[in-house]
Amino acid sequence: MKPQSSSNSPPTDLSMLSASERLNLLQHPTPGILKCIESLAKLYQEKFEPDIENKYFNKYQLMFQHLYGEDSLLPEAAHGYFVLGRASHNSCQYIVAEQLYKKSLDIYQQIYGEGADHPAIALLYTEMGRNLGRIPDYSAAKQYLHMSLDMYRRIYGNNSDRADIADAIGLLGCCVGYTGNYAEAGEYHRADLEMRKRMHGENSDHPDIAMVISNLGGNYHDMKEYTKAEEYLQQSLNMYKRIHGEDSDHPDIAAGLNNLACNYYSMKEYTKAEEHYRLSLDMYKRIHGEDSDHTDIADELRGLGKTYGEMRDHEKAKIHLELALNMYTRLYGNDDQQPDIQKVKQYMSKYQ
């Protein structure tokens, strides 16, 4: 199941910039231009144009390094490392993201003090927790998410309804669920949903509400209440389609199709599972690029592989699992301890 999120090539390849572009950036760097470049990168991320997005993040990195160097202790430098960390996370470079987030945290703590409460530090803790959940290191992720939530509440009060507080609560629910504490995870998700509805309206169609409904569906799936899970997951997918458009290619819709596929697989409804995995795979390829390496695409290949195995189509199972393994290996390296690689090899062992 894909926990859905309200936030999402590492920005280190500067070869996409021509010599004249680099020279122009270096001749006229200002913090204001840097902020504009950040905004443009986010805009193209939301429009799912990764080539243009990466080009702007490359520009951002080049100008950031020129403006602040390695040893700056300005808040703008801390924010810059945060931006680059989030870009690395979004391109599945989780170890790189962790290093950049730690650099950002170190600067913030030197500026404001190690025990200081500051919204930028609270947000950074949230994103560090999100990233650690993908490595995965759930114990450390929970620690950072609790630190974030506690800091937000000290800053804004225990009764504040805010998106940043809700984000930390929802991520805690996902993280706790991954460690098998499904009842506690459900409590976090319900608290998240109640806060989102107070913020956006009880009957509103809003991406954050659809996200939490999906996460509740995932929680029921984990508790093996598959019929209830299907109800929540379908409700979430329908809301995303109303928000983004029935025929839109959007990561929220692709993730919703994946989550229904996972649930149908658990219900042993393999024909429905295959259909939804295929729809999700095709959409992710249109979003990320037909030949792109991305965990979203690898996850769907793995889902199709294990589904074909249960359908006794062992040839298709081997083909899809090998495609998934090769993609995970290109993304993570030859790491037999990496959970996704371990899962694929476990499935593949049935067909040796």
Task: Kindly tell me if the per-residue pLDDT of 12 is higher than 50.
Answer: no
pLDDT value at residue 7:
47
Contact yes or no for 96/57 (Cβ under 8 A): no
**Average predicted confidence (pLDDT) for the chain:** 90
Write down the H helix ranges in the chain.
19-27, 31-46, 50-68, 75-90, 94-112, 119-134, 138-156, 163-178, 182-200, 207-222, 226-244, 251-266, 270-288, 295-310, 314-332, 339-348
Structure tokens of 63?
A: 């100008």
> What domains does the chain contain, in order, with CATH numbers?
117-204 (1.25.40.10)
For residue 334, the model assigns a pLDDT of 87
Where is average pLDDT lowest: 55-69, 195-209, 219-233?
Answer: 55-69
Angstrom CA distances, 277 to 1, 216, 228, 255, 341, stand at 11, 20, 20, 10, 19
pLDDT at residue 106 greater than cutoff 50: yes
Least-confidence region, from 55-59, 109-113, 137-141, 325-329: 55-59
Q: Which residue type, as a one-letter code, is found at position 210?
A: A
pLDDT digits (tens, 9 = 90+) for 13-34: 444 556 566 556 556 778 888 8
Mean local confidence (pLDDT), 216-222: 96
CB atoms within 10 A of CB 48: 14
* Coil vs helix vs strand at 196: helix
pLDDT of residue 20: 65
Name the least confident of 14-28, 169-183, 245-259: 14-28
Report which of residues 34 and 6 the model is more confident about.
34
Q: How far apart are alpha carbons 259 and 265 in whole angstroms?
A: 10
Cα within 13 Å of Cα(297), Cβ side? 22
**What's the confidence (pLDDT) of residue 8?**
40
